[in-house]
Amino acid sequence: MYSNMKIVILILLLFTGGSVIKAQRHYKRISALEGSYGTNIFGKADNMANISFSKYIDRTSYWKAGLNYFEKSFDYSVNTEATQPLGIMPVMQNQQREETARNWFVNGSYNRTIASNLKSIYWNIGIGCFLGTEYTRHPSKEYQFIVGPEIGTEIELFILPKLAFTVGIKEMWSPLSVKNWNTVWNAGLKILLYK
């Protein structure tokens, strides 16, 4: 009972104190480099990799821009002729096949710290957009332009003064893609670039 109460109090302090707390690791005009890996949450666990650069505007907000690679599994149908005995007209069959689309895109986002313990844990939310290209092969090679908005949340856990472990979740919508909605999680490292 006592340990559950401590957890509830800690969560309440993080949520209520987040708007007035100033993060001490997030300094104005400090840059950071981040690399992460993740997978799609719903459906097949497709791979996602990201490398990004961020610049802090002030202690609670920053811009982030990155280069991303994302795989999307999808099903499509192909009409094939079925073999029939001689003299009978061939029958077309509809076969389902699975393929993977490969996306390369750049993204940019504005992120804000909504809760922090002032030492090592920061909870951020962000909104942004992305644009790039999607490569598919069903049955021929095809490139498609993709663009759309994204929204996400991320937790930073600083394990060293300039090094943080990050875990996040992001929702992306691309109306021009083979799969319009994609929810991905990722984990990675963030390095603050200052002396």
pLDDT, averaged per 10 consecutive residues of the chain (195 residues), comes to 56 46 64 93 85 94 96 71 60 70 94 90 96 84 91 95 94 86 93 86
Q: What share of the chain is helix, strand, coil (3-state, %, to 5)?
A: 10, 65, 25
- The whole-model pTM stands at 0.74
Domain count for the chain: 1
Question: Is 141 domain-assigned?
Answer: yes
Residue 38: CATH number of its domain: 2.40.160.20
User: In terms of residue numbers, what domain contains 37?
Assistant: 22-75+91-193
User: Cα angle vertex 36, ends 34, 41, to 5°?
Assistant: 145
